[in-house]
Chains A and B, each alone.
Chain A
C-alpha cells in the first residue's frame, strides 16, 4: 500500500478564515512533507517533518503553521491567507534512515482557493 490521503479535496476560504488541511499515511514512513504547487509549475517544498519533528522550514510565512501529531498524521493550519496563496497543496511521505532510498509518495492534494 503506497497511499497517502489528503482532506479536504477542495477548500474555499476567505482571508479572515482559519482552516486546516489534513494528511495521513499508513506506510510506516517517518518523514512527511508539505508542498505548494502553482499551475504549470513544479511543486515547491514548504516543510519537512522527520520523526515527528520539524526538520526543514523553507522560509514559509507564519500564516502557514504545520503540525505533526503522530507518525501517521500531518496537518497544515491556515490563517489570514492571501489570494496569492491559492494553489494545490500536496502532502508526501518517505522512509528515513541509512538504508532508506527516500522516494517520496504523494497524496492527491487539496485545491485551495482564497477569496
Chain B
C-alpha cells in the first residue's frame, strides 16, 4: 500500500510563511488534498490539486506538486494564530474512493 509521510511538527511566528511538506510512494495518486484539523474537530478541506498540475493558488494557500520527486507542499502566507492545527495531506487514485492520509503535521503559530 501507499505510504504518505509528513514532518511531525512546525513552529512559526505570526506573519511568517509556513511550508508543510508531504512525500508519497505511489505515483498513481491522481488527486491530492490538504485538510486542516483543529483540536477536537473534524477535518476541513482546504484545497486539492490534480496530478496534471504543478501548482495551485487559493488566497493565502499555495500548493506545489513535484511528481518526479513525489513531493507535495502547502504554503500558507501571512500565517495567523488561527492557522494553528494539524494538517493532513491525502491522495486518491482515479476510480477509487479510498483516501490515503499522511501522518499529519502539527503547526504551531506563536504571536
Tell me the A residues contacting B by CB distance below 8 Å.
2, 4, 6, 31, 33, 40-43, 45, 48, 50, 55-56, 88, 90, 92, 94, 96, 101-109, 111
| Given A42-B103, A42-B104, CB of A103 within 8 Å of CB of B97 | no
Q: In the bound complex, how far is the Cα of B102 from the Cα of A105, in angstroms? A: 17
Q: What 0/1 pattern do residues 82 to 111 of B give for CB contact below 8 A with A?
A: 000000100010000111011110000000
| Given A43-B101, A55-B97, CB of A102 within 8 Å of CB of B42 | no
For A43, the closest partner residue in chain B by CB is B101
**One of A41, A45, A90 near B43 (C-beta < 8 A):** A90
Are B31 and A102 within 8 A (Cβ)? yes
Cβ–Cβ < 8 Å partners of B45 in chain A: 2, 103-106
Secondary structure call for the A interface: strand
Q: How far is the CB of B32 from chain A (nearest CB, A)?
A: 11
Tell me the B residues contacting A by CB distance below 8 Å.
31, 33, 35, 40-45, 48, 88, 92, 97-99, 101-104
Cβ–Cβ < 8 Å partners of B97 in chain A: 31, 33, 48, 50, 55-56, 94, 96, 102
Q: Known A-B contacts: A92-B43, A107-B42, A111-B40. Give 8 more (CB < 8 A).
A: A42-B101, A56-B97, A88-B40, A90-B43, A102-B92, A105-B45, A106-B44, A109-B41
Q: How far is the CB of B81 from chain A (nearest CB, A)?
A: 21
Q: In the bound complex, how far is the Cα of B42 from the Cα of A109, in angstroms? A: 6
Q: How far is the CB of A49 from chain B (nearest CB, A)?
A: 10
Q: How far is the CB of A111 from chain B (nearest CB, A)?
A: 7
**One of A41, A42, A50, A90 near B42 (C-beta < 8 A):** A90
Cβ–Cβ < 8 Å partners of A109 in chain B: 40-42
